[in-house]
Structure 1
Amino acid sequence: MASFFKDLWSRLGGSGEAKRESEAVAEAVEYKGFRIRPAPYPSKGQFQTAGVIEKDFGAETKEHRFVRAETHASKDDAATFSVAKARQIIDEQGDRLFS
């Protein structure tokens, strides 16, 4: 369990290799004024649901990174699910996501 949190922290904290692995794997998707960038990463032989939600506020762009427990056999499946999860997050929280 400790290695899971260490791995998660390094990915969210932006360590070099982990950051490259978690870069967006698909084009950004526009949804209700937000941009969703799916960014699944390999984890224990599967791909972890993860991504970035962005929104422009004037000249400033805010972002929210998310990682969820779901894993998938392929990177494409994980990317598709990451977009669906991001849409759900946006529907539930809207701009409060950046508070």
Structure 2
Amino acid sequence: MSFLKKLFGGGSDKAGAAPSVDGQEEFEGYVIKATLMRSGGEYQIAGVIEKEIDGELKTHKFVRADKFTDKEACVATTLSKGRQIISEQGKALFA
């Protein structure tokens, strides 16, 4: 039965598990984590931006439509996209 759930998007064996981090970096006081999504034989841009504000860890998740066959290229582009989001939105990111 679990095979059919996976086939039709009904769940996974790791329900509630945190996504795996494929790469991360610090940028202007924020932490950017690449949490790539698999789509067929390709990797899709997905990441998390985190910052501790007043003792509370704030997070912002992002996903983009871009897909890559090379995992390292996707990680590099995801981190670059995270830097772009921080540069454009800054403190308003968590507002």
Compute the TM-score of the two structures, normalised by the length of structure 2.
Answer: 0.78
Match of 2:83 in 1: 87
User: Could you tell me how far 1:76 is from its partner in structure 2?
Assistant: 1.5
Q: How does 1:7-22 map to 2 (within 5 A)?
A: 16=15, 19=17, 22=19
CA distance in 2, matches of 1:61, 1:46: 31
Identity of aligned residues (%): 36
Q: 2:43 aligns with which of 47, 54, 77?
A: 47
CA distance in 1, matches of 2:49, 2:77: 14
Match of 1:24 in 2: 21
CA distance in 1, matches of 2:67, 2:15: 23
Write the deviation string for residues 15-68 of structure 1: whole angstroms up to 9, x where unpaired: 727x55x42112x31101100011112112210001000011121010000000
Structure with a larger share of its residues in helix:
1
Root mean square deviation of aligned Cα? 2.0
Which consecutive unaligned segments of at least 5 residues does structure 1 have?
A: 1-6
User: What is the letter of the counterpart of residue 16 of structure 1?
Assistant: A
Match of 1:77 in 2: 73
Conserved? CA contact 1:41–1:75, under 8 Å: no
Match of 1:66 in 2: 62
CA distance in 2, matches of 1:95, 1:23: 26
